Copies of this chain bind each other. A is one copy, B any other.
Amino acid sequence: MKVGIVGGTGDIGEGIAMRLSSQHDVVIGSREADKAVHSSECCLSTLAGLGLPCSCSGVSNQEAIDRSDIIILAIPFRHVEPTLSTLNGFEDKIVISPVNPMEKRDYFVYTPPAEGSAALMIKRLLPPETRLCTAFNTVAANKWKALTEDLHLAVPVCGDDPAAKIRVMELIDSVSHVKSYDAGPLAASCMVECLTPLLLNIARFNRMRDVGIQFR
């Protein structure tokens, strides 16, 4: 699978790129292609240092979309609308939203847009043929990046296209011991997105770091 990461030079995008690029062709995208090239070089040298294979390149966000079958939108919620308005070519592609709209007050609060979730807002912004899934929301950037650490974590997936959902779940299951779970249709994404502020609160109020979940 060829996986493009829009916003692949951010914290979470870089982490996902590192984890996926030893097994998949990863195309790191950025608004500035130079930064994406730098990230891909970092990724290549980090994985080489660990004796791992790595297939990874750095390009513009648009090129990351054009070259890939699966596209991960690794961008903060506030950048979603302006970023997507500059990009095209999503038709018939599998697009993954790991986006969690939230605010930090005395604690982290889930703050979905009027559509009810980031995923449903993104659905409105993309062409109707886009095969959109919610996934990769609940694993912290540091966990993705800790390449020598086994990840025994759950990743819930929402989506309305069964074949796309299966491919996304296979992609997730290819990473360490991460296990994907079908969490229902795209409209159920709010319940997945709001796990992230919950996990940040759990970390904060219990003096933990990079908390993830398991279902059992």
Interface residues of A (CB under 8 A from B): 106-107, 109-110, 152-153, 156, 181-185, 187-188, 190-192, 194-195, 197-199, 201-202, 204-206, 208, 211-216
Contacts and interface: CB of A to CB of B under 8 A. Distances in A.
Contacts of A106: 184-185
A215 B208 contact: yes
21 contacts: A106-B184, A107-B185, A152-B216, A153-B216, A156-B202, A183-B198, A183-B201, A183-B202, A184-B204, A191-B195, A191-B197, A191-B198, A191-B201, A192-B198, A199-B215, A202-B215, A211-B215, A213-B213, A213-B215, A213-B216, A214-B216
Copies of this chain, how many?
2
Pick from A152, A181, A195 the residue with the most CB of B within 10 Å.
A181
Contacts of A201: 183-184, 188, 191
A64 to B, nearest CB: 30
Across the A-B interface, give the 7 residue pairs with the lowest CB-CB distance, nearest first: A182-B205, A107-B184, A191-B198, A184-B201, A214-B214, A211-B215, A181-B202
A145 to B, nearest CB: 17
Given A188-B201, A195-B195, A195-B198, 4 more contacts: A191-B194, A211-B216, A213-B215, A213-B216
